[in-house]
Amino acid sequence: MEEIRVGIVGTKFMGRAHSNAYMDVAHFFELPAAPAMEVACGRNVSDLQAFARRFGWQKTETSWARLVERDDVDLVDICTSNVTHMPIAVAAAKAGKHVFCEKPIAMNADEARQMLDAAREANVRHMVAFNYRRVPAILLAKQLIDEGKIGTIRHFNAVYYQDWLVDPTFHMVWRHDVKEGGSGAHGDMNAHTVDLARFLVGEIEAVSGAKEVFVKERPLEDGSGVGTVTADDALYFIARFRDGALGTFMATRFATGRKNYLRLEIFGSAGALVFNLERLNELEFYSRADPGPEQGFRTIMVTASSHPYIDAWWPAGHIIGWEHTFIHEVKDLLEGIAKGGAVYPDFYDGLRCQQVLDAALQSADEGRWIQISES
Ligand SMILES: NC(=O)c1ccc[n+]([C@@H]2O[C@H](COP(=O)([O-])OP(=O)(O)OC[C@H]3O[C@@H](n4cnc5c(N)ncnc54)[C@H](O)[C@@H]3O)[C@@H](O)[C@H]2O)c1
């Protein structure tokens, strides 16, 4: 079987999630090409070596600039903080490597466009890790929408709640610094829900937002003082979709008690859909076509072999988890590379999402509606 040799940059949260996906994918899916976990790249040598040993990366490299030039790497996987995405992705594409990049694609839409241009020019495959498109229940929602089961969509309401910053003594991390993240909760969490909105409903044409930093200073991790928080703790915005629907997007790390609560409610002229990431095997569906007294939301357990990706896993009702979303996206990426076909969501999707994120941020700064450009 053909091999696709992967070089991964970043060894922490997403480095672990992607490594797990490469380790598992060929065990469960029939693939035209298997991933070879060739080179891991990180800055801290002892962390890097421990990571490589634990997950089975064969070689290590301490500079991403050297990694992207290596002859033993076909695919560069970017699992680093947002400020590094553009330079790594552009250099990798120019070196002829396929590129898989974590979300948000970049610091802003200008950077995202540079990434898209570089990938198109080099004719390499490119994908953004919007892994929630690979939840079987989300794909079932998409199928029901495409079949007209909920009719014309009027509302797409998304909340993404976490609470890990409620404690004011939680120390500074790169996610608090606009210079490293571009934004805070917004780019981290609204990036996912904006991508899902584009996937399920369509393009957004205008937004109006508000944001807040609730805790302005936090202790530095090494105990040497405090740092200033420059990235939003929360950003909420309302949106108009091109096709006439209205949307709401709420991202906050101050939702006391909520851990990773991404909930979508989609209301259409013929029905409605509700999804909650913390119960990702389920999809709630309401149909106006159901007979009168029995009408009501039903909960579909999305674990039947007829549901997307599930026949590779377990018998019905034997639920899957969050990490499977990464395995599914890696499967689709490897197939796209092996067969030479397009893979989605690609850098164009990353750019379109980033344009919405940039507009919401600008709106929150300027206190007015912002139109989103057509392309
Ligand atoms: N898809 C998802 O559900 C999801 C979830 C969390 C994070 N993310 C995204 O993944 C990316 C990484 O986030 P994370 O949570 O893994 O962060 P993290 O802080 O856990 O890890 C970041 C890693 O990047 C490394 N790094 C930073 N700059 C580097 C450089 N110049 N060279 C080499 N390594 C460098 C750090 O050393 C660290 O290993 C971010 O873009 C984030 O938004 C996506």
Q: 301: which 2 tokens?
A: 């357990």
Q: Please list the alpha-helical segments (H only) found in the chain.
A: 13-28, 45-55, 64-69, 85-94, 109-122, 136-146, 178-181, 185, 191-200, 323-339, 347-366
Question: Does residue 1 surpass a pLDDT of 70?
Answer: no
**Confidence (pLDDT) at 375:** 74
Closest-CA residue, ligand 1 atom 26, reads 80
Q: Are strands 246-252 and 98-101 parallel, antiparallel or unpaired?
A: unpaired
Ligand 1 centroid to Cα of residue 270, in Å, is 41
Whether residue 336 has its Cβ less than 6 Å from ligand 1: no
Mean pLDDT over 109-125 rounds to 98
pLDDT in tens, 165-176: 999 999 999 999
Give this prediction's pTM. 0.98
Establish whether residue 184 lines the binding site of ligand 1, counting it when its CB lies within 6 angstroms of any ligand atom. no
pLDDT in tens, 219-272: 999 999 999 999 999 999 999 999 999 999 999 999 999 999 999 999 999 999
Determine the pLDDT at residue 138. Answer: 98
Q: Is 60 in the pocket of ligand 1 (CB under 6 A)?
A: no
Which residues partner with 75 through β-bridges?
6, 98
Quick: pLDDT tens for 166-222: 999 999 999 999 999 999 999 999 999 999 999 999 999 999 999 999 999 999 999
| Nearest CA, atom 31, ligand 1 | 84
